[in-house]
Amino acid sequence: MSTSGHDARPGPGETHNPGPAVAPRQAATVILLRGGGEQLEVLLVRRTPEARFMGGVWVFPGGAVDAGEGDGDEAHRAAAVRELSEEAAIVLDDAAGLVKFSRWITPAQVQIRFDTHFFLASLPAGQEPQIDGNECVDLGWFTPEAALAAHHAGEIELVFPTIKHLEQLREFGSVDALLAHARGREVQPIEPRVILEGEVARIVLPGEPGY
């Protein structure tokens, strides 16, 4: 399935679903930040190309909520802390310190769906990310603008939600400015739609023509 619009396309594993919508699985993602009051860099990890879902794609660390992590906000925070530890070897002492940033729900027209809660967190002092070489095979610190430029140059592969988040993040000159903006802000869920036009699919966001 090819796409047009937003310079985006369904990523690996985002197969079109012609039947009834699949219920999205709860998930959490951490946008790990460094730079303090001076700059803003984000951590991206590259999923192994062998993965059935999103193989080879550069993403923010994250994954599905486990059954034992409960439900609601507490479960999303627990999953976020666990996934950051598993995928990047970063340990956060306080899940309550995560700052809510966004919530994205995979379009109903896609087979594998997630209801993902995105959190912001600063890199803890004295820690450096590491990949396990299994689920994740590479990592890098990027300014949002540099990550987008690397994607457009074909150097790294990103998918639509990551691109849209990086476009938001590039508006902030420092970690401190971003966190000050995000704290206390009410987060509304965003559910893009895939509009099929013959062999071409177009991704639209709430408020855009055709949504």
Tokens describing residue 135: 């689920």
Residue 195 vs residue 128, higher pLDDT: 128
* pLDDT tens per residue across span 97-148: 999 999 999 988 888 889 999 999 999 999 999 998 888 999 999 999 999 9
CA 116 to chain centre: 8
Mean predicted confidence (pLDDT) in 49-68: 92
Residue 15 confidence (pLDDT) above 70: no
Question: What value does the mean pLDDT of the chain take?
Answer: 89
The CATH number given to whatever domain includes residue 86 is 3.90.79.10
- Three-class SS string for 131-164? CCCCCEEEEEEECHHHHHHHHHCCCCCCCHHHHH
13 found inside a domain: no
Residue 19 confidence (pLDDT) above 80: no
User: Residue 62's closest CA among 136, 157, 164?
Assistant: 136
> What is the count of structural domains for the chain?
1
3 found inside a domain: no
205 found inside a domain: no
176 found inside a domain: yes
Residue 11 confidence (pLDDT) above 90: no
Residue 75 confidence (pLDDT) above 90: yes
Tell me what percent of the residues of the chain surpass a pLDDT of 90: 68
Helices 144-152 and 160-169 cross at an angle (nearest 10°) of 140
Q: Show the domain range for 74.
A: 21-191
10 found inside a domain: no
Residue 131 vs residue 13, higher pLDDT: 131
108 found inside a domain: yes
pLDDT at 20: 79
CA atoms of 211 and 207, how far apart (whole Å): 7
The upper half-sphere exposure of residue 49, i.e. CA atoms within 13 Å in the direction of its Cβ, equals: 2
1 found inside a domain: no
pLDDT at 184: 83
Residue 169 confidence (pLDDT) above 50: yes
The band of 17, judged by pLDDT with boundaries at 50, 70 and 90, is low
What is the 8-class DSSP label of residue 16? B
> Model pTM?
0.88
Mean predicted confidence (pLDDT) in 74-86: 96
pLDDT at 1: 31
